[in-house]
Every structure is written in structure tokens, then in C-alpha cells.
Amino acid sequence: MELQAILYSQGFGTRRVCAGLIQQGLVVVQGAVCTDAAQQFEPEGLVFSVQGVTWPYREPAYVMLHKPAGTECSQKPSTWPSIYTLLPAPLRQRPQKGPVQGVQAVGRLDQDTTGLLLLTDDGKFIHRMSSPRHHVPKVYEVTVKHPLDDSQVGRLLAGVVLDDDPRPVAAAACEAVTPLHLRLTLTEGKYHQVKRMVAAVGNRVEGLHRSRIGGLALPDDLLPGQWRWLDAAELALLKP
């Protein structure tokens, strides 16, 4: 694969921009500066650097982000900064067939919700992880306003009716970790679902954090606002 095409596929700009980066001697491959945009490389496993920044070839891209509070999962946010500003430009610019470029969030978290967020440019992966048919569990750590009781936990497990759906929505698992800390597992993602479910049993969400998706837990060393690539073992933890 031509080096110019490799850079383009990874989001380093148009083909002309990528060719210019190479011709200016700003791209290092396998320890050597490469100035030939047409030079061929095997892309799988390739690690290169552009303007001093090391970059591994990924096709497609799968990353995790520790979403901080006060950010929106939108490329055109209305009030709060976008989570996409936390990502490097190549991830935001990866070429796509549709009008929206770059990696996309797999589902959304409210602006005040923190925790594990996946992003990718693999449309099939987004559909599989988001579809309620696949029952991918998502675990939330919920801080509530009023002390929990067994009745509230039982109702969340049995199912509560939300105002836009006559069908009861039940938690896949529910545990009162402390009187004010609820651990809730859901397999579908309705609008403001956790907040509305907790409100339906007479309580109120004061803080919300997603700690796990499928078998993948948010790493302790990934701080709010930080991102990193998903490796093969982590991807395997996400399979239904």
C-alpha cells in the first residue's frame, strides 16, 4: 500500500496534504525518513510518525474514552464542549463514505454523565453494540439523592413504566452498594433511561458514571478526558 494512501486512510488529511507531509520529510517509517509518497509498505502492524507524533496503523479504529462531565457526545454541541475535541485530529478526520468523517461514539452519554465511551469508524460494530437485540450489558454507578430501600431495587429489577413506552423496562441487574450508591446494569439505551428509571421508583440521580460495557471495564489508569486504543483482547470482551 502506498505511504500516501496509508496516511490518508488514517486521517492525516487529503491525499494531497498527505503527499506534502511525506515530501517535506515529516514522516518517519521504520526509523527512517521517507520522502517518496508512492513507496509501498505492508500496513498491518505498521507504526510510523508524522511531525514527531507516533501513530499505529489501525483499520478500522477502535478506541475508548473516559468521558468527563460537562461534555456532549456530539460533533455539533449546543452548550457544552464536544467529546471529539478530546481526540487527536487524525481520529476526527478519518475518511468515511458518508458525510460525517472520523470515528463516531457508540451510543451517547448525557453531558453530566462520566465514564466509559467507545468510538469507532466501524459501522457494523456500532450497530451491534447499540442494538437492543444483542443485549450488550452496560453497568452504571449511580449516586442517588435519597437512601435506597429493597422496594426500589426490587421494582427496578421487575420493571418500571416510562412515560413514552407502555412496556415495562427492567434492569438486567441491580445492587444497592451503599444506601446512596446504586449499581445498575442495562441492556438497552433509551433517552435518559437511568435517570427516568430511578425517578420512577421515587428517587433521584445525583451522579451517573458508566463503569463497564460488556466484559470491558473502564481502566483505573485512564483518567477523565483521556483516550486509548482498544487491543484485541479488549475487543474480545465486547463480543455478545
> Looking at residue 225, what is its pLDDT?
98
CA distance 78 to 238: 31
Tell me whether strands 205-213 and 114-120 are parallel, antiparallel or unpaired.
parallel
For position 240, what pLDDT does the model report? 67
**Other CB atoms closer than 10 Å to residue 22's CB: what's the count?**
25
- Looking at residue 166, its pLDDT comes to 81
On whether the CB atoms of residues 41 and 3 are closer than 8 A, the answer is: yes
Residue with cell 513507496: 39
Annotated active-site residue in 110, 121, 149, 165: 110
Per-residue pLDDT band at 100 (split at 50, 70, 90): confident
Pairwise CA distance, residues 68 & 65, whole Å: 9
Residue 166: Cβ-neighbour burial (10 angstroms; 0-12, 13-18, 19+): exposed
**Residue 213: predicted pLDDT:** 96
pLDDT of residue 94: 95
Give the model confidence (pLDDT) of 172-187 as tens digits.
999 999 999 999 999 9
**Nearest 5°: CA angle at 105, between 102 and 107?**
150
* pLDDT score of 130: 86
The pLDDT tens digits of the residues spanning 17-64 come to 999 999 999 999 999 999 999 999 999 999 999 999 999 999 999 999
Annotated active-site residue 110? The verdict is yes
* Residue pair 176/182 in contact by the 8 Å Cβ criterion: yes
Query: What structural domains does the chain harbor?
Result: 3-56 (3.10.290.10), 62-132+219-236 (3.30.70.580), 137-213 (3.30.70.1560)
How confident is the model over 96-107, as a mean pLDDT? 90
Q: Does the structure show a pLDDT above 80 at 164? A: no
Residue 240 is given by DSSP the state -
